[in-house]
Chains A and B, each alone.
Chain A
């Protein structure tokens, strides 16, 4: 909205406005085909197809146990597919090495690490996606600072993360993912236990990502205040894609019927961000 996106080297050249947003011609950044996966002996994904185009914001919805988080972990290569195909940035997973193009915001865990860490130290860990084993340079420190500023925690950089509220902690994890200036941001339940201020920060991070022509895949329990920012909602049920729809056609992802008419669903108006 108001924060100016800084120029970003290596971003796909797209109009920051609407050009190519969600168009099928744009090369997909995620292409998941017929994904099957199991946790232990229990099949969790049973043929999931998921495509996220450049510049698209896609939400994964569904009830608990529908396979949302597993789909995200499969996309990140953290859950092996028993069958199906995954390509990231048009490269099959087995050959994919450009992890710096991805930013990951995991589900916030309440388990604290055994040793204190400052906000800056945690966010710097995200920059390793680009710096890997070389020492941090000025550009790395600037990217870390910029990510912290974007989530409104620049003044808390030296504070221990243990001293933050749940919403602020979530913002730190978002900043950590943004520190590598990813072309694809993947978030697992970013709204869980987050206060209003942090929801607004998250929405701004999504807008910033879209302005740069970058993509977002996020797992949500409900669209809630993010609905206006989402291009497509993919509803999972029992490890399968139940429905792909525009968010305004979706009223309640957890309790609707598959062959229900989609057109007459009331649109979501949270009034918060629209």
Chain B
């Protein structure tokens, strides 16, 4: 465990993994709350076009991916507002287009081939360059500032959007900010977990944490803890068994999810009983009340 810290590429990879482990669940929790867990996936597809454009234009793929995936996320948000009936189809087309565009463009780039995309699709610990680390640190700082600093406001918007509008919060601006933050998170995470699996890291720690937590703040804290646990141990494992880190991180996350689910099963049963009891008491009171009313109204 200690000797891998002597390699500077591993230091960079672990730092990136740590940041991703914090940032991905911190944003993902709002998407899960809004039942848009799949949105990170879509942004990942669109980011691929950005990466390929970076190659084609000889620009930094990370920043290019930030730009393109942010535009894609804003597009998805606009579709959510205006495209009520056919919104899901429009989203699906955006996803397909992002993927196809990425493959198309990378093959147009001089000397480019699908092989260039592989490290972005599944992550790679050896390719986190020093320039990337600067971008990753800056972008993570932005992501954490938004997702933690505005957690109450974003919670309100994702919990009950109509109510949030009536409180006078700038709901549209907050939604756009959340979409851009999710896009930035995807780009930050693509070096470590890869674009195809980034959504898993935004969703699985939250899904695991919420089985044992009672509130939103507790879920946020626990999912960030689980996120860091799986990204650090998954990155370390990928060094020893020589697999892309995205794969080991996500498999680990699913294992953690399974373990938490198994441990939480008795808790879930107890809660279900408590709810059933509360409902029963409520209904009894209600029917007693209704009967009472009926007698008096006559």
Residues of A bordering B, CB below 8 Å: 76-78, 97-100, 102, 104, 106, 113-118, 120-122, 124-126, 128-129, 132-133, 136, 158-160, 162-168, 176, 180, 194-199, 224-225, 268-272
Query: Quick check: A116 and B160 within 8 Å, CB to CB?
Result: no
Q: Are A166 and B282 in contact (CB under 8 A)?
A: yes
CB distance from B269 to the nearest CB of A (A): 13
A167 contacts across to B, CB distance below 8 A: 282, 285-286
In the complex, what residue of chain A is closest to B296 when comparing beta carbons?
A271
- How many residues in B have their beta carbons less than 8 Å from beta carbons of A? 46
A-B contact pairs, 7 of them (CB 8 A): A99-B168, A116-B215, A125-B167, A159-B214, A195-B281, A272-B289, A272-B293
User: B241 contacts the other chain (Cβ, under 8 Å)?
Assistant: no
Stretch at the interface among B66-74, B130-138, B270-278: B270-278
Q: Chain A residues near B118: list those with CB within 8 A.
A: none
Query: In the complex, A132 Cα to B153 Cα: how many Å?
Result: 8
A132 near B215 with CB under 8 A, answer no
Is B119 among interface residues, defined by CB-CB distance under 8 A? no
**A93–chain B nearest beta-carbon distance, Å:** 12
Complex: chain A residue closest to B289, CB-CB: A196
Contacts of B278 in A (CB 8 A): 163-165, 168
Residues of B close to A106: CB separation below 8 A: 160, 162-163
Report whether A99 and B166 are in contact in the complex, using a CB–CB cutoff of 8 Å: yes
Q: Does B297 contact A (CB under 8 A)?
A: yes
Q: Which chain B residue lies CB-closest to A99?
A: B168
Q: Residues of A contacting B167 with CB < 8 Å?
A: 99-100, 125-126, 128-129, 180
Chain B residue, CB-CB nearest to A133: B153
Q: Which of B32, B153, B285, B292 is close to A128, meaning CB atoms less than 8 Å apart?
A: B153
Most buried by A among B37, B216, B283: B216
What is the minimal beta-carbon distance from B39 to any residue of chain A, in angstroms? 12
Complex Cα distance, B215 from A169, in Å, reads: 15
Select the residue from B162, B166, B275, B293 with max chain A CB neighbours within 10 A: B166
Contact of A121 among B169, B217, B289 (CB under 8 A): B217
Task: Check if B232 is an interface residue, CB within 8 A of chain A.
Answer: no
Least Cβ distance of B163 to chain A in Å? 6
Residue B164 at the chain A interface, CB threshold 8 Å: yes
A167–B164 Cα gap in the complex (Å)? Answer: 22
Most buried by B among A116, A132, A133, A158: A116
Q: Which 6 A-B pairs have the closest CB atoms?
A: A99-B168, A196-B289, A271-B296, A165-B282, A118-B215, A129-B167
Contact of B281 among A100, A102, A114, A165 (CB under 8 A): A165
Contacting residue for B168 out of A132, A165, A197, A199, CB 8 A? A132
Distance, CA A124 to CA B293, complexed state (A): 35
A160-B162 in contact given A115-B29, A115-B33, A116-B210 (Cβ < 8 Å): no
| B279 interface neighbour in A104, A165, A176, Cβ under 8 Å | A165
* Min distance, Cβ A103 to any Cβ of chain B, angstroms: 8
Contact A129 B165 (CB under 8 A): no
Q: Does B147 sit at the interface, judged by CB under 8 A?
A: no
| Residues on the A chain within 8 Å of B215, using CB | 116-118, 120-121, 158, 160
Most buried by B among A102, A104, A196: A196
A116 x B216 contact (CB < 8 A):
yes
**Cα separation A99 to B167 with both chains bound (whole Å):** 6
Query: Chain A residues near B206 (CB, 8 Å)?
Result: 115
Chain A residues near B168: list those with CB within 8 A: 97-100, 129, 132
State in angstroms the CA–CA spacing of A224 and B294 once bound together: 10
**Given A126-B167, A166-B279, are A270 and B160 also a contact pair (CB < 8 Å)?**
no
The distance in angstroms between the C-alpha atoms of A269 and B215, with both chains bound, is 42
A100: which B residues are within 8 A, CB to CB?
A: 167-168
B155 partner residues in chain A, CB cutoff 8 A: 117, 121, 125
B297 to chain A, nearest CB (A): 6
B2 within 8 A of A: no
Question: B156 contacts the other chain (Cβ, under 8 Å)?
Answer: yes
**How many angstroms from the CA of A187 to the CA of B278 in the assembled complex?**
24
Q: Is the CB of B214 within 8 A of A118?
A: yes
Known: A129-B168, A163-B275. A113 touches B214 (CB 8 A): no
Tell me, yes or no, whether B34 is within 8 Å of chain A by CB. yes
Q: Give, as a whole number of angstroms, the nearest-CB distance from B113 to chain A.
A: 40
Knowing A114-B32, A163-B271, A168-B282 touch, does A104 contact B166 (C-beta < 8 A)?
A: yes
User: Is B35 part of the contact surface with A, judged by Cβ < 8 Å?
Assistant: yes
Residues of B165-209 contacting chain A, CB below 8 A: 165-169, 206
Contact of A136 with B152 at beta-carbon distance under 8 Å, contacts A106-B160, A115-B219, A271-B296 already known = yes
Which residues of A sit under 8 angstroms from B33, Cβ to Cβ?
Answer: 113-115
Question: B1 at interface (Cβ–Cβ under 8 A)?
Answer: no
A129 cross-chain contacts in B, Cβ below 8 A: 166-168
Q: Do the beta carbons of B166 and A102 come within 8 Å of each other?
A: yes
